[in-house]
A and B are shown apart, each in its own frame.
Chain A
Amino acid sequence: MRIVSQLLDVPSIDPDDARRRKLLNILLIGTAAMTLLILLATGVVDVTDLIGQDETTSLVYQGSLVALAGILITFVINRYWSGGLASALFLMLLTVIVAFSDEPRQVVEGRSMFLFAIPILMASVLLRPWASFIMASLSSLVITAIALGTLRIVPPLPSMLGFFAIAMGAWLSARSLEQALKDLRTINEELDQRVEKRTREVAEALSRNQAILESIADGVIVFDRDGQAVVANPAMTRLLGRSYDEITSRDVDTLMGEDVDAADREVVRSFLEDNTKSHAGLKIQWRDKTLSVSFAPVCDHFGNVTGNVAVFRDFTREAEVERMKSVFVSIASHELRTPLGAILGYADILQEGVYGPLSGRQRSTLERIVVNTGHLLDIVNNLLDRAQIEAGTLTLNVAPFAPIDLLDDVLGVMDVLAQAEGLELTSHVADDLPAILFGDRQRLYQILVNLMGNAIKFTDDGTVRVRAYRSDVDHWVLEVSDTGRGISPEAQSYIFEPFQSVDESPTREYAGAGLGLSIVKQLTDVMGGEITLESKVGRGSTFTIVLPMVPLAWSQPSKTKPNGLS
């Protein structure tokens, strides 16, 4: 097949030219084959001497050889030089063959006249559509010449008109054929351009996405709907120290294997199975690395979930820094508390008169030592609490307790302070509140001491009241209100931030590092509660803490352990 097409095809920039030259080649080869057959048949007849040597036979020999030579020359010209010239030569050769193919009379007005139609028709497709008219003219000239020169008769006008009629038909059909081919080519070209443009766009988008994926510092794995890893980026291979194939050929369970402990594996699996929403900030331990993982469902154009994309960030250093920070703070706090305890102890010994009675000034000086050391101890304790809350190591010690006892205890401690300030202290536990609640009694105590301490500090005269009641089926409320100086709306916006104290006056009449309320807020958060403040300057403040009846520490145990370090 390739040899045939190599023989027939002529390379050309113009597709019409290529088509015509190919067609000419087909005709040439066809004609050559026919001539060879005639030559063969004549040869057989000649050798077997069936009809004897005559003039016709030698004429056929000579004609055939001339025709073959012409065909060969035309073929070479067509192939290596010009298709138009070759076609013209071929058509003229054909016309000459037709002119000499029969007796002159038959050619001019008899049976062979219509053989001229063949080159006329061919001209329209081999050269240009209008070339059929030239061939019609040429054929007319040939028969006119034969009629006048050989037969000496009037040239047959109807034959010539017939030639032009054929030329007209050939011209029309060849023209519409060429037009159709041209249209087809235009359509093809447009289609090619469009395909090329699309291909380029897709390739660009792909390479852009690929480049982004490859340059992301975080590890990325795309999982299909069955939890099979299908794509991973280079950062991921570095993070896990595995090759691309080792990651992508596995499902999520095999991928994690023994490198991730069972509890973390379970969480990852449940997040992957939940295709409805994104999950962020999960921290897992992957061998010696702490990884922060987030998952998001991947959707197609129609909103169908096709899988999940997981982003892994190396959190090892941050986790270590966080851990060291909290270790540092707790060690520092512990180291600070020990000498503070000793100071208070020695002061206590002196105050109790163990080493003899004290003078009035000695006693009051000692009192200031004790009060200030107490302040310092509170600050250290608050810092330790903050460090624990921030590091997520603060765990709630949830147990049953009686709210009425809690309030009595707080009042017992705060009463001394309130009396010293000349304030009235009241407490009320509503009847609808259960006698036994669940929660971290010690932390609730801490919250109340902080709130009531503030209330007493900022109330010049009047009442500080603490109430416990049920707000709805699932919640109960601790409320501390006072008739103090109140908190300005501006101060209300930052009062729960750490290191903010409402009293920013240069004298700092009311000492404190401004940690108390931020710890109250964070403890409330840890318990799954909510704290709100209502206050009017000059009228007083009310802090309301809404707490769940079922403590958070029971319903969501993972909340107090956000990063697997403790």
Chain B
Amino acid sequence: MSSPLALIIEDDYDLSNIFAQALQSAGFESEIVRTGDAALVRLAATTPDVVVLDLHLPRVAGMDILRQIRAEPRLAKTRVIVATADERLAETLREEADLVLVKPISFSQLRDLSARLR
């Protein structure tokens, strides 16, 4: 059985690397996309088990990506971890996201939490 897939949608180079490393450490195969539209392209082609989603993204907003995932039956089982620096925004997403993490997010925190989603 192949490893579950995690899609990291994050425009910051370092953060995306750290997130990817955390997900890999938790046993996921991770893939990074750094823009909103690239994320939509990947989501149309693959069915990741976990999406780590930054809300501030170039071109397509993270919020729109979240709504599109929730509207797509094929992605019904995909777990979404929202990563944002905006606490207020985080509060409003409790229903739609499976997990909301407020930046700064530590490597070990993300690794441990995502391991539970396997």
Interface residues in chain A, defined as those with a beta carbon under 8 Å from any beta carbon in chain B: 334, 337-342, 344-346, 348-349, 352, 354, 377, 397, 442
Contact = CB atoms under 8 A, between A and B. Distances in A.
B102 to A, nearest CB: 10
Contact of A345 (B87, B88, B106): B106
Nearest to A342: B14
A338 B11 CA distance: 12
A337 B12 CA distance: 12
Contacts of B88: 397
Contact of B21 (A339, A344, A354): A354
A344 B15 CA distance: 10
B61 interface: no
B47 interface: no
A338 B14 CA distance: 9
Contact of A342 (B15, B25, B87): B15
Contacts of A349: 18, 21-22, 107
B73 interface: no
B42 interface: no
B111 interface: yes
Nearest to A334: B85
Interface residues of B, number: 17
B31 to A, nearest CB: 18
A434 B35 CA distance: 49
B108 interface: yes
Which of B15, B22, B87, B107 has its CB near the most chain A CB atoms (within 10 A)? B107
Given A348-B106, A348-B107, A352-B108, A339 B14 contact: yes
Contact of B15 (A341, A354, A397): A341
Given A337-B104, A345-B106, A349-B107, 4 more contacts: A345-B104, A346-B18, A352-B107, A354-B25
B103 interface: yes
Given A334-B85, A346-B14, A352-B111, A340 B104 contact: yes
A346 B19 CA distance: 10
A338 B12 contact: yes
Interface in B93-113: 103-108, 111
18 contacts: A337-B103, A338-B15, A340-B104, A341-B15, A341-B105, A342-B12, A342-B15, A344-B104, A345-B14, A345-B15, A345-B105, A346-B14, A346-B107, A348-B106, A348-B107, A349-B22, A352-B107, A377-B104
Given A338-B12, A352-B108, A345 B25 contact: no
A3 B32 CA distance: 113
A348 B108 contact: yes
Contacts of B18: 342, 345-346, 348-349
B89 to A, nearest CB: 13
Nearest to B15: A342
Contacts of B106: 344-345, 348
Contact of A341 (B104, B108, B111): B104
A245 B111 CA distance: 72
Which of A345, A348, A349 has its CB near the most chain B CB atoms (within 10 A)? A345
A354 B25 CA distance: 7
Interface string B15-32: 100100110010000000
Nearest to A395: B88
A349 B21 CA distance: 8
A352 B25 contact: yes
A387 to B, nearest CB: 16
A334 B86 CA distance: 11
Contacts of A341: 15, 103-105
Which of A337, A338, A349, A377 has its CB near the most chain B CB atoms (within 10 A)? A349
B107 A345 contact: yes
A338 B83 CA distance: 13
A462 B110 CA distance: 37
A331 to B, nearest CB: 12
Contacts of B22: 349
Contacts of A442: 87
A23 B88 CA distance: 101
A349 B14 CA distance: 12
A536 to B, nearest CB: 39
B98 to A, nearest CB: 22
Closest 9 CB pairs of A and B: A342-B14, A345-B18, A348-B107, A341-B104, A345-B107, A349-B107, A348-B106, A349-B21, A348-B108
A146 B25 CA distance: 159
A340 B14 CA distance: 10
B97 to A, nearest CB: 19
A364 B103 CA distance: 26
A33 to B, nearest CB: 108
A194 B105 CA distance: 86
B74 to A, nearest CB: 32
A344 B103 CA distance: 12
A348 to B, nearest CB: 4
A397 B111 CA distance: 30
Contacts of A337: 85, 103-104
A519 to B, nearest CB: 17
Contacts of A348: 18, 106-108
A380 to B, nearest CB: 11
A334 B21 CA distance: 23
Contacts of A377: 104
A60 to B, nearest CB: 124
Nearest to A399: B91
Nearest to B109: A348
Contacts of B111: 352
A353 to B, nearest CB: 10
Nearest to B21: A349
